Structure 1
Amino acid sequence: MEVMKKRRLAANARERRRMNSLNDAFDRLRDVVPSLGNDRKLSKFETLQMAQTYIAALHELLQRD
């Protein structure tokens, strides 16, 4: 029983580190993607949408030259 508890605690710690790392990556992405000037933080979904739009716009700019 004790071994299972230790394994579960270790798995929980790994998952917590994974999620913290993912959230840090989203925060870094939010810092470089233009926002709409809202005071609220973009959701993960909104951040990905904005990143996709921004990348497409940059690509289009490069294609013009």
Structure 2
Amino acid sequence: MKRANGTGQAGSGPLVTAGSGLEAAEREELKRLHKLTADQAKTIEILKEATAFFAKESDR
């Protein structure tokens, strides 16, 4: 499925939108992947903060 951008060409928007006919298993997988992405983003932020803390501590 392509999303038109008004010029008759495919746009760069998402190809899958909520309620676009995804099967239940696909919706669950998408939900799981969104949660995983959010968890990984939190982990990355914590690791960045820890890196900054330990870099600062090692300079003392």
TM-score normalized with structure 1 length: 0.50
Q: Which has the higher helix share?
A: 1
Q: Which runs of 5+ in 2 are unaligned?
A: 1-24
In structure 2, the partner of 1:48 is: none
| Higher Cα radius of gyration | 2
Q: Is residue 2:32 matched to residue 1:8?
A: yes
Structure number with the bigger relative contact order (C-alpha 8 A, sep ≥ 6) is: 1
Q: Is residue 2:51 matched to residue 1:27?
A: yes
Q: Extract structure 1 runs of 4+ deviating beyond 6 A.
A: none
RMSD (CA atoms)? 1.8
Q: Which runs of 5+ in 1 are unaligned?
A: 36-65
Q: How many pairs align? A: 36
